[in-house]
């Protein structure tokens, strides 16, 4: 038995560890969905997979509690696949290497998947434990939340009967989230005719940036962390515009909702400008390290090394337009919420750059709790990349989850938390994207709230889950279930 399975509460940690051994990156969740269905049936619950690929479980009330309204426990089954540059982990085939580090559980060189494996594990524990007191329960485990909330978008009306939804996907114990930002994917594409490389008196170099903090592009966009795509753009802008380098390819970032930690570009340099080019890269590294000295504590790991001469390069006008557009595009916080100055209202994450083989794609995730500001930001990005000759589409848009100040569920949860722990929970909105607002489109009368254990650095290989917070979170969940309002 793994030591993680001995942590308290045992059923939660046992189920979480089991999930870490099933590969479940976004887009590859079939195995975990089948596992969840079989798990539910083995513990006396009904289970099915709906048309969108969501797993829905139902369990009857504890005897004597049939008069409570049905509660929905909601989490998502997929995880963000991020790893260190040195890792050989295959997220589609390999189990995670998880271990205990003091008061934290983390994974070796990869994301942990506590976002939202811990929410799934808690719901599984409620299904499994016959000693838990509750009214009728439905469990909704959605598909591919991290890449576009596809499961939530695909959930049809009439699939659920519950009146109260407990979203188990927040990341700070002691907080109850009652609202979140909406989002929109800005997808920019173009094709171009590559040039043949004439290698005479030329050398090739690979510029690599790796090991940045990265992070959750909603929760941590306000922390001022370096974006690998923006740093690379600054180097390329200086090198290409001065004629000392020619761009052949550029790849950076791999998830729309993760601040890009790594990137690399291959450039061709005239031998006569080689020293000037190397000095520029070294100077850039020094500048970036000074700019981010108080944020990127491990420094800016930017290297440049000779590489094999590529056969193709990007035409001059195309490379300049693409680099200029990435330089000009907004990244980071655009505006804070006027009525809540500490809460980000609108932001963008310049998440993915892929330029190679005659094709270019740049993906940006825009977020805002105000639809008008989200549109303003997206239109600005459309204008920016359209001027670079790219075809720009706005995809996967969803509105934010608007807080309900009269929520009976939140009032009950707040009273319960105060009775349990002697202090009121923090009740607030967040800048991350939660599925509540999307689910609420087809279930407009459902009362919702989100909470969870404490996680740090989700969407990065430094992701960790605080062990003591899990017990507080789970005990709070059990008390909430006891206190779900009675049927009218």
Mind telling me the catalytic residues?
78, 145
Q: What are the φ/ψ torsions at residue 354 (nearest 5 degrees)?
A: -140, 105
- Tell which phi-psi region holds residue 3, choosing left (phi > 0), alpha (psi between -120 and 50) or beta: alpha
Q: What SS3 class is residue 331?
A: coil
Pairing of strands 312-313, 104-107: unpaired
Q: Environment class of residue 304 by beta-carbon count within 10 Å: exposed (0-12), middle (13-18) or buried (19+)?
A: buried
| DSSP per position, 41-82 | HHTT-EEEE-TTS-EEEEEPPPTT-TTBPPEEEEEE--B---
Dihedral sign for Cα 269, 271, 272, 277, please: positive
At 485, list the tokens.
């309002």
Residues ≥6 apart with Cβ < 8 Å to 57: 36, 40, 45, 46, 47, 123, 127, 137, 138, 139, 141
Residue recorded with tokens 């308290």: 8
DSSP state of 282: H
């Amino acid at each position: 038995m793994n030591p993680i399975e001995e942590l308290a509460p045992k059923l939660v940690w046992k189920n979480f560890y089991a999930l870490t051994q099933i590969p479940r990156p976004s887009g590859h969740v079939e195995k975990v969905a089948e596992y969840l269905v079989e798990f539910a049936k083995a513990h006396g619950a009904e289970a099915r997979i709906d048309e969108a690929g969501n797993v829905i479980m139902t369990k009857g009330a504890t005897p004597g509690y049939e008069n409570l309204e049905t509660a929905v426990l909601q989490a998502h089954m997929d995880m963000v696949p991020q790893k260190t540059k040195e890792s050989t982990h295959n997220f589609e085939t390999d189990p995670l290497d998880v271990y205990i580090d003091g008061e934290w559980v983390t994974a070796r060189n990869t994301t942990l998947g506590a976002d939202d494996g811990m929410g799934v594990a808690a719901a599984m524990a409620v299904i499994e434990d016959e000693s838990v007191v509750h009214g009728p329960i439905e469990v909704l485990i959605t598909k591919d939340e991290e890449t576009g909330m596809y499961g939530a978008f695909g959930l049809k009306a009439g699939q659920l009967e519950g009146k109260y939804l407990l979203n188990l996907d927040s990341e700070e114990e002691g907080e109850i989230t009652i609202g979140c930002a909406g989002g929109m994917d800005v997808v920019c594409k173009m094709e171009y005719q590559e040039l043949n490389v004439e290698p005479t008196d030329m050398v090739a170099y690979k510029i690599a940036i790796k090991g940045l903090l990265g992070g959750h592009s909603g929760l941590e966009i306000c922390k001022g962390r370096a974006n690998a795509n923006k740093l690379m753009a600054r180097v390329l802008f200086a090198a290409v515009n001065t004629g000392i380098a020619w761009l052949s390819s550029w790849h950076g970032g791999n998830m729309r909702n993760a601040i890009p930690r790594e990137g690399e570009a291959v450039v061709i340099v005239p031998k006569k400008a080689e020293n000037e080019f190397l000095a520029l890269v070294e100077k850039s590294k020094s500048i970036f390290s000074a700019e981010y000295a108080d944020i990127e504590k491990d420094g800016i790991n930017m290297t440049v090394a000779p590489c094999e001469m590529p056969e193709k390069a990007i035409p001059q006008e195309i490379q300049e337009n693409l680099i200029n557009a990435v330089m000009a595009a907004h990244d980071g916080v655009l505006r804070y919420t006027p009525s809540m100055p500490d809460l980000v209202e609108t932001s963008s994450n310049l998440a993915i750059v892929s330029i190679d083989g005659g094709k270019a794609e740049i993906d940006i995730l825009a977020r805002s709790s105000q639809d008008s500001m989200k549109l303003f930001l997206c239109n600005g990005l459309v204008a920016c990349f359209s001027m670079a000759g790219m075809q720009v589409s706005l995809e996967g848009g969803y509105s934010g989850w608007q807080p309900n100040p009269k929520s009976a569920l939140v009032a009950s949860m707040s009273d319960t938390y105060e009775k349990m722990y002697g202090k009121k929970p923090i009740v607030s909105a967040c800048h991350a994207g939660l599925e509540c607002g999307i689910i609420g489109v087809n279930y407009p009368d459902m009362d919702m709230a989100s909470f969870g254990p404490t996680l740090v650095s989700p969407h990065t290989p430094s992701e960790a889950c605080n062990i003591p917070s899990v017990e507080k979170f789970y005990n709070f969940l059990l008390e909430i279930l006891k206190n779900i309002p009675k049927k009218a």
